[in-house]
Structure 1
């Protein structure tokens, strides 16, 4: 299914294949030879999404651009089942395994591997050929790779990353953080009320 969002329509190369149950919304460009499988969602929420040639987006993956962070995915990259990319750049020949997550402002270098359920946090830079092991968390620039049992170190990086401030425009220390966050984000998402199916 393809939708016009904020006046922009998806542009899909005639050699690309998009499953009928995938959702492509807004300013999305999909390159030649790309494959977008069932249940995948690719949505441009104010910023563009560009998928290069021969990119594969597996079942139920989510790719979302924001007004602050576009998404660019280089040629011959695979985004695994249930993986997500939010406002990030992936260079060529990247492998995101099932359940991997890449957050806003991150950059994943050429031929990197982000393995099952691994996380690349906000504004993290993975140099070329970096491997993030299964379930690990990559944080920062220069990057630190932390195993999930190093919860205190991961937690210590959170305030510096300021995820609620950067992504939602809400101060982390706001007493009613979730009230502010959901109301602001809900207002932004309400712009979909005027979307129009174009396929």
Structure 2
């Protein structure tokens, strides 16, 4: 049970002013964020945190690669530096996908994009049914992303105010040092806001 004013206690955060983050501080931030890591079903994988931390500290050099809203351990995609996904970047449907609390803004933006694209395609009339069907985000993908967002938010809600503040600081450091440039389908850049709002 957490203390304080609930979802608003997590609030907005600001990135650190200095672009240089000491290795020790970055390592501590990575460790804190990695303890809140989830698989594609939203299952917390904290029991594997030590193994995950070791690969994270090595910048996922062995066995994983960064993707827009998590990490991927699929061997051919890792070998190709994230440019050879067998499931065409449908990460939330793949057993090789992991995400953590630092990707919450990206997951929220992705969910919003999926919902917007579904609405836009439903109203689009100048396409064959098969083309619309292939371009329309599936209900399964939308449900999976929604469930992941809700699961991460739930874990944030369960933290004490002190733990939430430490996670907020760690997330800011990790996101600042991440520097995503993956050369794959881009999602809208989210605002750095980790307020645990509810998705309907």
- Tell me, yes or no, whether TM beats 0.5: no
The structure with more strand, counted as a fraction of residues: 1
When normalised by structure 1's length, the TM-score is 0.30
The structure with more helix, counted as a fraction of residues: 2
Higher relative contact order (CA 8 A, sep 6+): 2
